[in-house]
A and B are shown apart, each in its own frame.
Chain A
Amino acid sequence: MELDAMNEKRTLVKQREKSARTGGKLAEEVFCRTLMNIASILIVGVMGVILVSIFYKGISTFSWNMLAEDMGSGFYLNRGGGIRNAILGSVYLSVSATLLALVIGLACSVCMNVYMVRCPRLLHTARFLLDLIWGVPSIIYGAFGFSLMVFFGLKTSLLAGIITVTLFILPIMIRAIDEVMKTVPHGLSESVLAMGSTRSELSYKVYLRQCFPGIVTAVLLAFGRAIGDAASVLYVTGESARSPRGLMDNVTTLPVAIYNQINSPSAAIQDKAYASAFILTLVILIISLLSRYISKRYQKYRIY
């Protein structure tokens, strides 16, 4: 009886399968796969177009003098001058902000992965909040930095810029380091604790070392963001035509300089914007290559 039912079902399925047609589906697949190829080609193509046009325009307007001279007072009046001060300003600003963010970021990531693991609810909340501020656009940090500056009675300065940019890259840094530290297996930390280490020893014996390549990548990622961002420092660093001499000096950063140059009515100064954009892009590309190289190379220093 049951066997009959089974055979009946099997015959039914067999019959229906025979009468099924599959023609239209193939056309759909071919169509969609073509679209997919086009999408990928488009992405690579646009990347190529952007790089080529920035490099082409940039190299043709670039001169070594630009790196050697400060803007000087007459830069925007077309009296010559380079962008050394902007480059230096950007480097000072982003290096200090990155270091500051690294110190705080390491503390936070260690805190989450070594101490807070004992109460998962708290850890979840912390990660949730971090994820939230991770997506906050840089212009808001700019506005916030400005009001903070006014609140503390600071003037526009390199220092105010460093603080603002630190706030801006902190979530990026913490999330990147946390992402690596999460992958340290529990067994490893348990065995270190079982050997009698305190938790703080665990964090620098195991976590920092194990995650070193990841931390380097995080630092370079954050540095790349810091050096490329204009919106966050627009408000707080002021403007200066000479190289910064101290923390309280006004500075112009490279991205802001590019923005000002390209908005100048003079074609000659716009050309300098192209050259500056080329320099900035080159720096960013080098950083991204470096981070790939380093993370590969230091992989072997991991404990296991």
Chain B
Amino acid sequence: MNISSNRRTRDKIITCLTYAAMFVVLLLPFALFIGLAFKSELLFRDHSLGQLLFSSSWRPSAGEFGFKPFIVGSLYVTLLAMIISAPICLLSAIHITQYAPARVSKVVTTAIDILAGIPSVVYGVWGMMFVVPIVSRYAAPLFGVQTTGFSILSGGVVLSIMVVPFILNILIEIYRTIPKELTEAALSLGATRWEAVRSILNRKALPGILAAVGFGFARAFGETMAVLMVVGNAIRIPESLFDQGYPLPALIANSYSELASVPEVESALMFAALILFVVVLLFNATLRWFIIKTEKY
């Protein structure tokens, strides 16, 4: 078989180009880490890591950078979002894949496709005109609290809606890939449909469910605009759902106008991004590893 030298050179060139592109892309995570770490180095000249992470005093003008309020704010909002959305997603995933007729499943999957497409800013706008007033007018008075409605609760609610498509899509995929024969086996042992779902399918899906919730957490943790718009952004450690909070991504997005002026503030924001990056990456890496591990059984 004779390949003309022309074709062979072209093949070589294209091969090299694609490898080059691949190489550059794979460098991206390292570049992100190094870039952010490099930029936050300035902050470490005067502060220790423990100080930065666990101090709650944030006064850039006085050179005090305690990230605790932001980290805690992020955790609260994200946890609240997961507590709301995880059970809903799980129930709906079982419903769609096991019980619902095809038409109903189609309606729900279309709905989550639409939800997935709506931009973060639009969720923010909606949150401001819908969720925030409800929290301030109806939810807070119920507990005898007065608030503008911009609160951890509003942030959590908006965020929970935003992660639903993300988690639900993973869960649906998980339930769909469980072989039908497993249900058949359970049924022929005399299980009802529900018993088969509860003790066989859910058990089989359990690692996947955990992973899906974990991915959802990582996703929600880094969500910026929508949360920023409804969470109030007061620098303090929130004590109740109706308190205002200030999550990490909001800090980064909000202070960008100050960036150019004070180098130490810029460095602090890059450090905030670094924290976010490391948390998200650790989550994702652990979960991937967990999935690979459990897939073997």
| Chain A residues at the B interface, C-beta cutoff of 8 Å | 25, 28-29, 32-33, 35-40, 42-44, 46-51, 53-54, 57, 104, 107-108, 110-112, 114-116, 126, 128-133, 135-144, 146-148, 151, 167, 170-171, 174, 196, 198-201, 203, 224, 227-231, 234-235, 255-256, 258-259, 262-263, 273-274, 277, 280-281, 284-285, 287-288
| A residues near B123, Cβ cutoff 8 Å | 50
| B residues near A47, Cβ cutoff 8 Å | 111-112, 114-115
| B residues near A138, Cβ cutoff 8 Å | 222, 224
Contact indicator B122/A40 (Cβ below 8 Å): no
Which residue of chain A lies nearest to B165 when distances are taken between CB atoms in the complex? A43
Contact indicator A255/B117 (Cβ below 8 Å): no
| A residues near B117, Cβ cutoff 8 Å | 224, 228, 284-285, 287-288
| Interfacial residues of chain B within 66-92, with CB under 8 A of chain A in the complex | 87-89, 91-92
Contact indicator B222/A107 (Cβ below 8 Å): no
Q: Does B94 contact A (CB under 8 A)?
A: yes
Neighbour of A111 across the interface among B22, B38, B112, B118, CB < 8 A = B22
| A residues near B122, Cβ cutoff 8 Å | 54, 228, 258, 277, 280-281
Which residue of chain A lies nearest to B18 when distances are taken between CB atoms in the complex? A111
Contact indicator B25/A130 (Cβ below 8 Å): yes
Please judge, given known A-B contacts A135-B218, A139-B252, whether A40 and B95 are in contact too, CB under 8 Å.
yes
Apart from A128-B288, A147-B39, list 11 A-B contacts with CB within 8 A: A33-B99, A107-B21, A115-B15, A131-B284, A136-B32, A137-B249, A140-B273, A142-B253, A174-B25, A228-B117, A230-B119
Which residue of chain A lies nearest to B157 when distances are taken between CB atoms in the complex? A46
**What's the count of A-B pairs with C-beta under 8 Å?**
255
Please judge, given known A-B contacts A36-B92, A39-B91, A57-B129, whether A170 and B25 are in contact too, CB under 8 Å.
yes
| B residues near A229, Cβ cutoff 8 Å | 119-120
Contact indicator B112/A43 (Cβ below 8 Å): yes
| B residues near A171, Cβ cutoff 8 Å | 25, 28
How close is A271's CB to chain B, nearest CB, in angstroms?
Answer: 11
Among B39, B91, B100, B168, residue most surrounded by chain A Cβ atoms (within 10 Å): B91
| B residues near A263, Cβ cutoff 8 Å | 229
Q: Does B62 contact A (CB under 8 A)?
A: no
Q: How many angstroms between the C-alpha atoms of A229 and B8 in the bound complex?
A: 43
Residue-wise interface mask of B (268-279) relative to A, using a CB-CB cutoff of 8 A (1 in contact, 0 not)? 011001001100
Neighbour of B92 across the interface among A40, A147, A227, A228, CB < 8 A = A40
| A residues near B17, Cβ cutoff 8 Å | 107
| Interfacial residues of chain B within 90-120, with CB under 8 A of chain A in the complex | 91-92, 94-96, 99-100, 104, 107-108, 111-115, 117-120
Q: How many angstroms between the C-alpha atoms of A110 and B16 in the bound complex?
A: 12
Listed by A's residue number, 11 A-B pairs whose Cβ atoms lie within 8 Å are A46-B161, A104-B25, A114-B18, A137-B221, A147-B35, A171-B25, A203-B18, A229-B120, A231-B253, A277-B126, A284-B119
Q: Does B236 contact A (CB under 8 A)?
A: no
How close is A119's CB to chain B, nearest CB, in angstroms?
Answer: 12
Q: How many angstroms between the C-alpha atoms of A35 and B92 in the bound complex?
A: 9
How close is A280's CB to chain B, nearest CB, in angstroms?
Answer: 6
Q: Does B213 contact A (CB under 8 A)?
A: no
Q: Does B256 contact A (CB under 8 A)?
A: yes
Q: Does B242 contact A (CB under 8 A)?
A: no
Q: How many angstroms between the C-alpha atoms of A142 and B32 in the bound complex?
A: 11
Q: How many angstroms between the C-alpha atoms of A228 and B121 in the bound complex?
A: 8
How close is A251's CB to chain B, nearest CB, in angstroms?
Answer: 15
How close is B163's CB to chain A, nearest CB, in angstroms?
Answer: 12
Neighbour of B276 across the interface among A28, A132, A139, A200, CB < 8 A = A139
Q: Does B194 contact A (CB under 8 A)?
A: yes
Please judge, given known A-B contacts A33-B99, A140-B222, whether A39 and B125 are in contact too, CB under 8 Å.
no
Q: How many angstroms between the C-alpha atoms of A126 and B24 in the bound complex?
A: 11
| A residues near B29, Cβ cutoff 8 Å | 129, 132-133, 136
| A residues near B222, Cβ cutoff 8 Å | 136-140
Q: Does B241 contact A (CB under 8 A)?
A: no
Contact indicator B35/A29 (Cβ below 8 Å): no
